[in-house]
Structure 1
Amino acid sequence: MARNSKKTIITCAITGAIHTPTMSDALPYTAEDIAGQAIDAAQAGASILHLHARRPSDGGVSIDPDTFRAFLPRVKQATDAVINISTGGSLNNTIEERIAPALAFSPEMCSMNMGSMNFSFHPLAGRYTDWKHDWEKDYVENSDTYIFRNTFADIKNAATQLAPHDIKFEHECYDVGHLYNLKFCMDIGLFKAPIFIQFIFGILGGIGPEVDNLVFMKRTADRLFGEDYRWSVLGAGGSQMQLATTASQMGGNVRVGLEDSLFISRGELAQSNAQQVQKIRRIVEDLGCAVASPDEAREMLGLKGGDRVSF
Structure 2
Amino acid sequence: MSRKVIVTAALTGAIHTPGMSPHLPVTPEQIVAEGRRAAEAGAAILHIHARDPESGRPDQSVEAFGRILPALKETGAVLNITTGGSPFMKVEERVAPAAHFRPELASLNMGSMNFGLYPMQARYPDLPNEWENAHLEGSRDLVFRNTFADIEHVLGTCAPNGTRFEFECYDTAHLRNLRHMIDRGFVTGTPFVQTVFGLLGGIGADPEDVTVMRAMARRQLGDDHLWSVLGAGASQLRIAAMSAAMGGHVRVGLEDSLWAGPGVLAESAAQQIASVASILDGLGMAMATPDEARDMLGLKGAGEVNF
Structures share a fold, TM > 0.5? yes
Aligned twin of 2:221: 225
Q: CA deviation at 1:221?
A: 1.2
Following the alignment from structure 2 to structure 1, what is the Cα–Cα distance between the partners of residues 212 and 68? 38
Q: CA deviation at 1:153?
A: 0.5
Aligned twin of 2:204: 208
Do 1:50 and 1:83's aligned partners in 2 also have CA atoms closer than 8 Å? Answer: yes
Aligned twin of 1:129: 125
Aligned twin of 1:52: 49
Q: CA deviation at 1:144?
A: 1.1
Q: CA deviation at 1:227?
A: 2.1
Aligned twin of 1:142: 138
Q: What is the CA deviation profile of residues 167-187 of structure 1, one whole-angstrom value per residue up to 9, with x for unaligned ones?
A: 110000000010001101111
Aligned twin of 2:106: 110
Aligned twin of 1:66: 63
Do 1:81 and 1:294's aligned partners in 2 also have CA atoms closer than 8 Å? Answer: yes
1:168 aligns with 2:155: no
Q: Which runs of 5+ in 1 are unaligned?
A: none
Greater Cα offset, 240-249 or 221-230: 221-230
Following the alignment from structure 2 to structure 1, what is the Cα–Cα distance between the partners of residues 68 and 49? 11
Do 1:10 and 1:46's aligned partners in 2 also have CA atoms closer than 8 Å? Answer: yes
Number of aligned residue pairs: give it: 306
Structure 1 runs (4+) greater than 4 angstroms displaced: none
Do 1:285 and 1:291's aligned partners in 2 also have CA atoms closer than 8 Å? Answer: no
Q: Residue 208 of structure 1 aligns to which amino acid in structure 2? A: G
Following the alignment from structure 2 to structure 1, what is the Cα–Cα distance between the partners of residues 108 and 23? 27
Q: CA deviation at 1:163?
A: 1.7
Following the alignment from structure 1 to structure 2, what is the Cα–Cα distance between the partners of residues 171 and 129? 33
1:39 aligns with 2:39: no
Greater Cα offset, 140-149 or 295-304: 140-149
Following the alignment from structure 2 to structure 1, what is the Cα–Cα distance between the partners of residues 118 and 149? 28
Following the alignment from structure 1 to structure 2, what is the Cα–Cα distance between the partners of residues 281 and 107? 27
For the residue of structure 2 that corresponds to 1:185, the secondary structure is helix
Following the alignment from structure 2 to structure 1, what is the Cα–Cα distance between the partners of residues 158 and 34? 28
For the residue of structure 2 that corresponds to 1:87, the secondary structure is coil
Following the alignment from structure 1 to structure 2, what is the Cα–Cα distance between the partners of residues 70 and 201? 31
- Among 142, 148, 152, the residue aligned to 1:152: 148
Q: CA deviation at 1:213?
A: 1.4
Do 2:85 and 2:94's aligned partners in 1 also have CA atoms closer than 8 Å? Answer: yes
Q: CA deviation at 1:254?
A: 0.1
Aligned twin of 1:11: 8
Q: What is the CA deviation profile of residues 142-172 of structure 1, one whole-angstrom value per residue up to 9, with x for unaligned ones?
A: 2111100000011011111112111110000
Following the alignment from structure 1 to structure 2, what is the Cα–Cα distance between the partners of residues 227 and 209? 23
Q: CA deviation at 1:102?
A: 0.1
Following the alignment from structure 2 to structure 1, what is the Cα–Cα distance between the partners of residues 258 and 305? 30
Q: TM-score under structure 1 normalisation?
A: 0.96
1:29 aligns with 2:22: no
Question: Percentage identity across aligned positions?
Answer: 50
Aligned twin of 1:85: 81
